[in-house]
Structure 1
Amino acid sequence: MTTSLTAADPAAEAAGFPDWGQAGANAVAAVPDEAVDAYWRALNYLSAAQLYLADNARMARPLRHEDLKASPRGHWGVCPPVNYLLAHLGPLTAHRPPGSELLVLHGAGHAGPSALAHAYLNQNLPPTGSGTWSIAALRTLVGGFPDPGRFGSEVTPLIPGVRHTGGQLGPALSVAQGMALDAPHRLVVPLIGDGELETGATAAAWLARRALLGTGEHGTVLPVVLANGLRMGGPSLLAGLTGEEITAYFTGLGYQPLIADGSDLPAFRRLLADALASLQPLAGAGPQPVVVLTMPKGKTGPEQVGGRQIAGTPAVHKTPLANPLENDDEFAALATWLASYRPTELLTAQGRPSELVRQALPGPAAEPPAAGPAVIRQRQSWSDVSAVVRARAEHPGFRLFSPDEIASNRLSLSPDGSTPDWAVEILNEEICHAWLQGYTETGRDALLATYEAFAPVNTSLLVQHLKHRNLRHAAGHANLPSVNYLITSLGWRNTYTHQNPGLASAMLELEDPSVHIYAPADATRAAAVLAAMLTSRDRVNFLITDKHSGVSFPPGPFRDELTRGAAIWPHLSFGRGTPDLVLASAGDIPARQLAETARELRRIRAATTIRYLHINDLTVLGPAGTWPAALTRQAFTDLFGADCPVLLAVPTFPGAVRALLAARGEADRFHVVGYRDPGRPTSNGALLEHAGLSVPVLSARATRLIEEHRR
């Protein structure tokens, strides 16, 4: 079933939007259908061979038991539909418009064998990246899978060309949108599994496109839904819809679906060309095409074995034949299955794809150059976080994303109070993160501003994205713009339901060296920290700062706070010699409370020696072996003394900070106070009292620590 589409937007063509429709027509004319079919068979064969074969990589002789792996592992089911799209996109990539770029995102993370096969055939898989194929490299690809020390079994950036870790379930469509923002030359094709279609992130992303109307000149996204009928364990919800219902569903979301099962390859090539001719920029107002491929999961694999149904059941998800080494029926089925692709027609004795396959290949992919950090002209006075955001927005390659909270977070982005086109709001934290992820993954700077209480919604996405970035770094693709979160509307001043500083705790528990948790003491310091964040690379930065005007502290120590992560504040320290107590703050509200405590102690205990310091980056408290910014042993002692008690006030849950200190071996003499859930709505003052952060409670505790230490 195919749904026709309207013509491409003439205004987009006039603005220089790449003519993807002509590119699609050129690809169909230049590459024969037989080549695309051969490419698809080669991808399918290599995907299946990686699961089962230890030797005989080309099936150049009849299959033997000694050719098999002892324990087949990996995922087969999603590979054939993914391979079908990759085979059709190969010619398009090779014939794309001049100056354009085509990126494919694997929402289906289990298609690792497919991604590896694609990388091998396109000479992007080390050690074949030098531009050669070899039978030894082919044997390594097939026999070495899943090779956890090299590539693993799933879609990650360890595999060349991968820009989205498919296991990050849900955000592929919105990450693709983020990649297309401010990039008119770019077409992004996310491959979205029908199980993924059931996630909230994907469900919201269809509608999220409307939030981008009027926000600048963008590229385009061509979503492809792999409606293969099954999730991991059973039928997907999409599988229960008729063709008419699928059409109604996507039409209602503002898309025009093109539905095909892939059984007619020439017809699917025409369908794809039709979709390309109908593309509009991401912010286009009219219907956008979406390709819905209803190819069954595990297509081209075994249908039945020994009376057991395989096709159309969850058995196709991983290895359809569980033990062909010991089961004769499965061995025979495997031999027939692998031979059905006629692999010796697809791969030469030298391990090269055949001439027919090579006609459909896109060619070696080049890593586009990452945009360098923009120069921010710093003003003489960093009195306002908004000023830093506006200054960065004066240069290209920047976006601010916020879940409908720009005004609420008191960010002033324009003289008249309006929202400029480089700032986008949508009431969905996950979509904001995915847009930011896609934008930074393609070399641009971005900032996500959100309430402290709602930021933890993105915890799982952040954990998965950190894993993606770590693997990207391991694959030699570092030097990306940092992931930057501005966390404000703090729970200390908010209602009970809006009190949750848990994201900082979750990020610290990861012990990921790229994470930095900034807790500056005032707005001037927060602005300077934000400026540094926006020029940093390969970090995941969280800035915790109160949106309300507060106390400003002398700027003198701030250079050390910014460069070393912590500094002594002489104006709040008093007495001589070894301190009886160290007062340490992190965050603006704790700094305000503890500064008042220091003044009170000076009044009532003038003979005491108090050292006051502020911690700008919480990660400096952890051990140097884990945290790159950690204080050295000597610097730690210079700040906190050797054996005196330390009263440390933080804006987060205290447990995560205690864990940092415990890992350094410094838990005993540190007394950490931070947010404690009051259990019911309460006033701001009562919350500080409950958490032990009111001045009277802090003063009493400080006095008790001093007396205990002297005894």
Structure 2
Amino acid sequence: MALTHARTAEPAPPGFPDWSHTARQAAEAVPDQAIDAFCRALNHVSAAQLYLTDNPRLARPLRPTDVKETPCGHWGVCPPVNYMLAHLGPLTARRPAGCEVLILHGAGHAGPSALAHAYLNGTLRLTGDGPGWSMPELRALIAGFPHPERFGGEITPLIPGVRHTGGQLGPALAVAQGMVLDAPHRLVVPLVGDGELETGATAAAWLARRALHGSGDHGAVLPVVLANGMKMGGPSLLAGMSEDEVRGYFIGLGYEPLIHDGADLPGFRRLLAEAFSRLRPLGTTGRQPVLVLTMPKGHTGPQQVAGRQIAGTPAVHKTPLKDPRRDEAEFEALEAWLASYRPVELFTTQGRPTDLVRQALPGPAREPETTRPSASLDSQHSRPWPDASAVIRERATNKAFRLFSPDELASNRLQLSTGGSLPPWAVEILNEEICHGWLQGYTETGRDALLATYEAFAPVNTSLLIQHLKHRRLRYLTGQGGLPSVNYLITSLGWHNIYTHQNPGLVSSMLESEDGFVHVYTPADATRAAAVLALMLAGRDRVNFLITDKHPGPSFPPAPFRDELTDGAAVWPHLSHRGLPDLVLASAGDVPARELSTAATLLRRSHPEVKVRYLHINDLSVLGPAPRWPYALTNQTFSRLFGTDTPVLMAVPTRPGTVRALLAARGETSRFHVVGYQEPSRPTTPEGLLEHCGLSAAALSARAALMIKEHCG
């Protein structure tokens, strides 16, 4: 049922799109019958993908041979998703001039729905470059599902129009918020499952919008909760709440809940128009609308088969009918199920949507147009190097930039304004996942962003980043490259922190992903870190992690830095002997550079006869082999730097095993001794941690001397 009481909508701010006019236009231009036909078409194509090999519009009686040997895929969430897509289509088609509407799939299990929507929208191509609407295309879509080599059965950017990989469970609402920041022309509608409401990322995102008050001019987010009652294995927590409790829950969060079960199509259209009239920019005070659609999971599917209950049980999550090709009762149920959509009214003999369906279609989505400043090595070397704070402030002056942080900007010693106050382009909220969701949404829509965080807390986002790497990889395969890079500034390192704040695990996981988009930057000092940060913010199609200590440290001669940037590693002449070395010393990161450079000086004094080559690694990812790592050191450059049989002592700020794995992939398993973070058994001092890890200057010098003795016999 619909919400019975409604507030008087407050006036929209000047310049904010008139979304209520959009709703009125759609109501006048598109009859209810067209919305219903569009919804039936989506449901039919979704179900047909799970079950059929032929006869896509049921132009003749269904035969067992039309049914797949092994039905597979997910049905349950498709009907409520399709219901929303059908109602949003006419609104999207009539959006205000210069505006855009983006729909975000929160859960990945609506893959058949996303494919059906792409087909009906005319953007899907399966059989070549011909028309998107044709009977060969429709047959290929249905018979080929789940298209394991082309699309897969889940929500991925391989499906046209998809901007968020649904398997990344939880952050859809935060990603939607990130998409509308600094974009007043944009409306994003995240479809959030009631199971997804149980995740920490979604739970925090409702409250997170309060952190955006006064942070600029933004677009609008219209969250839609698909309260279908079921998770994968049973009832959701939301399903155990009464309507009054659901209403009270969202009102307490600062929203205006509009609740409907989808049974009354004209009533739902009126409710959706009401929601559009209440849209306000993200970050403004006052209640925002949230739609709660209580349509049951698997709605319009079979209720019972041969006395077995299907509706309202976990059976609707995937394929409700397991073997209709051979089971007579299930075959009859499938035939009645598909026939209930009356597909001959929805598709012509050529596989085109009928005129009635086409009245409700949204039309192809538009890619946003963005302009971004660019930087190059030459431009960075033509001016003095600023510190990281100056780089961030300068990038912010060029607009289309956001800095997100979990309440740690001051702690990380980032000075963003002369008065010490937080500028509007910087937002803090004590939640790593929300910061990542905002970052992801902002960059996905073509703008630069940076997430600054403590090293120890960054690993909270490991799963989100792994999923987003998958999303970016697939997006790139479709030719949709050119997105701004995902940038993490990781500081407050464990080398200077307390026991509970010691965990370099995020970059270890990122390197273990062996994803060529990943770069882990480990500059030697603050000026190098600032220059690396400037290049990160100007780059595209990368996922960058900059590891730099917030505490002051030594500065090193700048001459080798250009090679450190271009190659990822370079020799430091001021610490190296001429000719072939007896030992190679290699540092990565500022704390290791401080300790290992001191060790090199100690070694010169204690072993003046030993020839040393010292080099610094600015990007750990270059140590891996090509082509797995596209920016890897060439074999020739690797040999020039590290030699071919010379022992190497390498000091890194990460766990050493990750770096050893990169070297082992090159076949280097014996002559490299890698020293890095090792978990202490109890709290210790920064000096004690260095000693525990063998990373103090004294320990490194002693280890170097031992390696020389072992190598020279």
Other-structure match for 2:711 = 709
Measure the CA separation in 1 of the matches of 2:445 and 2:166: 17
Pairing 1:174-213 to 2, within 5 Å after superposition: 174-213=174-213
Determine the structure 2 residue equivalent to 1:626.
628
Structure 2 matches for 1:70-149, cutoff 5 A? 70-127=69-126, 132-149=132-149
Q: Once the 2 structures are TM-superposed, how far is the Cα of residue 663 of structure 1 from its aligned partner? A: 0.4
| 1:328-356 superposed Cα distances (whole Å, 9 cap, x missing partner) | 10000000000010000000000000110
State whether residues 373 and 536 of structure 1, in contact with CA within 8 Å, keep that contact through their aligned partners in structure 2.
no
Residue 2 of structure 1 deviates from its aligned partner by 2.6
- Native 8 Å contact 1:373 1:481 kept in 2: no
Q: Which runs of 5+ in 2 are unaligned?
A: none
Instruction: Tell me, in whole angstroms, the C-alpha distance in 2 between the residues paired with 1:629 and 1:496.
Output: 35
Question: Once the 2 structures are TM-superposed, how far is the Cα of residue 383 of structure 1 from its aligned partner?
Answer: 3.8
Cα distance per residue 1:624-655 (max 9 Å; x no partner): 12111111111111101111110000000000
User: 3-state SS of the aligned residue for 1:611?
Assistant: strand
Which consecutive segments of 4 or more residues in structure 1 shift more than 6 A? none
Corresponding residue of 1:10: 11
Q: CA, structure 1 residues 596+445, in 2 after alignment: closer, same or farther (shift >3 Å)?
A: same
Aligned to 1:252: 252
Shift in Å at residue 578 of structure 1? 1.7
In the other structure, the counterpart of 1:604 is 606
| Structure 1 residues 290-338: Cα deviation after superposition (integer angstroms, max 9, x where no partner) | 0000000000000000000000000000000001011110000000000
Q: CA deviation at 1:674?
A: 0.3
**In the alignment, does 2:507 pair up with 1:504?**
yes
2:479 corresponding residue in structure 1 = 476
- Residue 108 of structure 2 aligns to a residue whose secondary structure is coil
Partner residue in 1 for 2:348: 348
Task: Tell whether the 8 Å contact from 2:298 to 2:311 is kept in structure 1 after alignment.
Answer: yes
Q: Deviation digits for residues 425-446 of structure 1, max 9, x if unmatched?
A: 0000000000000000000000
Q: Aligned residues: percent identity?
A: 71
> Structure 1: how far apart are the matches of 2:564 and 2:364?
46
| 1:666 equivalent in alignment to 2:668 | yes
Unmatched 5+ stretches in structure 1: none
* 1:514 equivalent in alignment to 2:513: no
Report if the CA contact (8 A) 1:105-1:188 is conserved: yes
Whole-Å separation in 1 of the counterparts to 2:291 and 2:414: 39
Instruction: Indicate which of 464, 480, 489 corresponds to 1:461.
Output: 464
AA aligned to 1:42 is: A
The residue that corresponds to 1:489 in the other structure is 492
Q: Does the CA-based 8 Å contact 1:6-1:278 persist in structure 2?
A: no
Q: Residue 324 of structure 1 contacts residue 331 of structure 1 at CA under 8 Å; is this kept in 2?
A: yes
- 2:112 and 2:579 map into 1 onto residues whose CA distance is 66
Aligned to 1:413: 416
Aligned-partner Cα distance in 1 for 2:10–2:569: 55
1:185-334 to 2 correspondences below 5 Å: 185-334=185-334
Relative to 1, partners in 2 of residues 1:5 and 1:374: Cα closer, same or farther, differing over 3 Å? farther
Separation in 2 of the partners of 1:665 and 1:557? Answer: 27
**Matching of residues 647-662 of structure 1 within 5 Å:** 647-662=649-664
Give how far 1:573 is off: 1.1
What is the DSSP-based 3-state SS (H/G/I as helix, E as strand, rest coil) of the residue aligned with 1:111? helix
Q: Report the Cα distance in structure 2 between the residues aligned to 1:32 and 1:511, rounded to whole angstroms.
A: 52
Is 1:392 aligned to residue 390 of structure 2?
no
Q: Which amino acid aligns with 2:346?
A: L
Structure 1 pair 395–682 and aligned structure 2 pair: CA distance change class (3 A): same
Are 1:432 and 1:448, in contact at CA under 8 Å, matched by a contact in 2?
A: yes
Is the contact made by 1:254 and 1:286 (CA closer than 8 Å) also made in structure 2?
Answer: yes
The Cα of 1:368 is off from its aligned counterpart by: 2.5
Determine the structure 2 residue equivalent to 1:562.
565
d(CA) in 1 for partners of 2:371, 2:189: 22
- Kindly indicate whether the alpha-carbon contact (under 8 Å) linking 1:5 and 1:289 is maintained by their aligned counterparts in 2: no
Question: Matched residues in 2 for 1:321 and 1:237: separation?
Answer: 26
Q: Separation in 1 of the partners of 2:319 and 2:12?
A: 49
Cα 1:192–1:129, aligned 2, differ >3 Å: closer, same or farther? farther
Conservation of the 8 A alpha-carbon contact between 1:678 and 1:690? yes
CA contact (8 A) 1:596 1:695 kept: yes
Counterparts of 2:273 and 2:633, CA distance in 1 = 58
Shift of 1:369: 2.9
Task: State the 1:129 CA deviation.
Answer: 7.1
Amino acid in the other structure paired with 2:457: F
State the 1:372 CA deviation.
3.7
Partner of residue 574 from structure 2, selected from 571, 576, 583: 571
State the Cα deviation string for residues 494-553 of structure 1 (Å, max 9, x = none).
Answer: 000000000111001000000000000000000000011011100000000000110000
Contact 2:581/2:611 (<8 A) preserved: yes
3-state SS of 2:665 partner:
helix
Equivalent residues of 1:5, 1:278 under 8 A apart? no
Q: 1:416 to 1:365 in 2, by over 3 A?
A: same
Provide the rounded CA distance (Å) in 1 between the counterparts of 2:460 and 2:365: 35
**Does 1:615 pair with 2:614?**
no
Go from structure 1 to structure 2 and tell me whether the alpha carbon gap of 1:314 and 1:247 turns closer, same or farther (over 3 Å shift). same
Aligned-residue offset at 1:10: 2.4
2:429 to 407, 410, 426: 426
User: What does residue range 374-385 of structure 1 map to in structure 2 within 5 Å?
Assistant: 374=374, 380-385=383-388
Cα distance, 1:160 vs structure 2: 0.2
Query: Aligned-pair distance for 1:483?
Result: 0.3
Separation of aligned partners in 1, 2:502 and 2:368: 42
Tell me by how many angstroms 1:115 deviates: 0.4
Q: Matched residues in 1 for 2:102 and 2:163: separation?
A: 8
Q: Which residue of 2 aligns with 1:61?
A: 60
TM-score after normalising by structure 1 = 0.98
3-state SS in 1 of match to 2:534: helix
Contact 1:370/1:480, CA 8 A, preserved across alignment: no
User: Helix, strand or coil: the match of 2:315?
Assistant: helix
| Aligned-partner residue type, residue 548 of structure 1 | H
CA contact (8 A) 1:390 1:413 kept: yes
Corresponding position of 2:367: 367
2: CA distance between counterparts of 1:435 and 1:117?
29
Does the CA contact (< 8 Å) of 2:2 and 2:261 recur in 1?
no
Greater CA drift, 366-375 or 225-234: 366-375
Take 2:636 and 2:173, find their aligned partners in 1: how far apart are those partners? 49
Structure 1 CA distance, aligned partners of 2:143 and 2:631?
A: 42
**Is 1:168 the counterpart of 2:171 in the alignment?**
no
Q: Does 1:451 align with 2:451?
A: no
In 1: Cα distance, 2:284 partner to 2:9 partner: 10
SS at 1:149 equivalent: coil
The 3 A distance-change label for structure 1 pair 162 and 557 is same
Distance 2:10 2:409 in 1: 32
The answer as to whether partners of 2:301 and 2:311 remain within 8 angstroms in 1 is yes
**CA drift at 1:83:** 0.2
Q: How many residues align?
A: 708
For residues 40 and 392 of structure 2, the distance between their equivalents in structure 1, rounded to whole angstroms, comes to 51
Q: 2:595 aligns with which of 583, 593, 596?
A: 593
Is the 2:375–2:535 Cα contact (8 Å) retained in structure 1? no
Q: Does 2:40 correspond to 1:37?
A: no
* Aligned-residue offset at 1:11: 5.0
**Secondary structure of 1:263 counterpart:** coil
Inter-CA distance 515–246: structure 2 relative to 1 (3 Å threshold): same
Cα distance change of structure 1 residues 368 and 91 upon mapping to structure 2, 3 Å threshold: same
Do the aligned partners of 2:32 and 2:265 also contact (CA within 8 Å) in 1?
yes
> Distance between the aligned counterparts of 1:667 and 1:627, measured in 2?
18
Q: Secondary structure at the match of 2:520?
A: strand
Q: 1:164, 1:8 → 2: CA distance?
A: 31
Matches of 2:240 and 2:310, distance apart in 1: 20
